[in-house]
C-alpha cells in the first residue's frame, strides 16, 4: 500500500514537473512571438498585427536606447510578486488571476487602468497560465545563464 502511494506521489511530481516545463516553454513562445497572440488597443475594434503585440517588443526592450520612449517594465518574478505602488495607486502585487485580468482588460490589481499603449489580449486560460509560469520562472532561469 505504501509503495503504491509513494509511486503515485512520484509519478504525480514527474507529471507536474513536465507540465510546468511544457507550459513555461509555451510561455516563452508567447512572450517572444513564436506563438501568435491576438490583441487590440483598448477602445479600438481592429486587431493589431501579431508581430506588434509580442510581449518582448516592449518588456525586453525597456533598456534599449532606440526604444527609450517605451515605459514598459522588464517583467520578472520580482516586478510581479513584490508589493509595490504603481502610478500613484495603493501598493499591490500580481497573482495569476490578476495578471490574466490585466492582459484581458487593462485593469491592474489596484483597479487602475493601465496605459492605453498596452494592448488587451484575446487569451485563453492555458495561454495566460503558460505566460505567467514563464515570467515567474524567468528570473531564476536568467540567473542560471
Domain boundaries, the chain: 2-144
Query: Crossing angle of helices 2-32/125-144, nearest 10°?
Result: 90
- Are 131 and 35 within 8 A, CB to CB? no
Q: Write out the chain's pLDDT in tens, 145 residues.
A: 656 655 555 444 444 444 444 556 999 999 999 999 999 999 999 999 999 999 999 998 655 555 445 568 888 899 999 999 877 888 999 999 999 999 999 999 999 999 999 999 999 999 999 999 999 997 654 544 4
Question: Nearest-CA neighbor of 50 among 122, 134, 131, 133?
Answer: 122
Return the ∠ at Cα 104 (arms to 43 and 89), rounded to 5°. 85
- Are 33 and 54 within 8 A, CB to CB? yes
According to the model, what pLDDT value does residue 24 have?
66
According to the model, what pLDDT value does residue 15 have?
41
- CA 33 to each of CA 29, 36, 38, 123: distance values in angstroms, whole numbers, following the listed order: 6, 6, 11, 14
According to the model, what pLDDT value does residue 145 have?
42
According to the model, what pLDDT value does residue 89 have?
80
How far apart (Å, rounded) are the C-alpha atoms in residues 32 and 95? 21
According to the model, what pLDDT value does residue 8 have?
55
According to the model, what pLDDT value does residue 27 have?
96
According to the model, what pLDDT value does residue 96 have?
98
Amino acid at each position: 500500500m505504501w509503495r503504491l502511494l509513494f509511486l503515485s506521489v512520484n509519478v504525480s511530481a514527474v507529471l507536474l514537473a513536465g507540465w510546468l516545463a511544457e507550459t513555461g516553454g509555451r510561455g516563452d513562445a508567447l512572450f517572444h512571438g513564436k506563438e501568435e497572440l491576438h490583441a487590440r488597443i483598448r477602445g479600438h475594434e481592429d486587431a493589431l498585427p501579431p508581430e506588434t503585440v509580442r510581449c518582448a517588443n516592449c518588456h525586453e526592450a525597456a533598456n534599449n536606447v532606440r526604444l527609450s520612449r517605451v515605459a514598459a517594465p522588464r517583467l520578472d518574478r520580482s516586478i510581479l510578486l513584490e508589493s509595490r505602488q504603481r502610478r500613484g495607486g495603493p501598493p499591490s502585487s500580481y497573482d495569476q488571476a490578476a495578471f490574466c485580468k490585466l492582459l484581458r482588460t487593462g485593469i491592474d490589481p489596484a483597479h487602475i487602468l493601465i496605459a492605453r499603449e498596452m494592448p488587451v489580449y484575446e487569451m485563453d486560460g492555458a495561454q495566460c497560465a503558460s505566460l505567467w509560469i514563464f515570467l515567474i520562472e524567468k528570473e531564476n532561469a536568467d540567473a542560471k545563464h
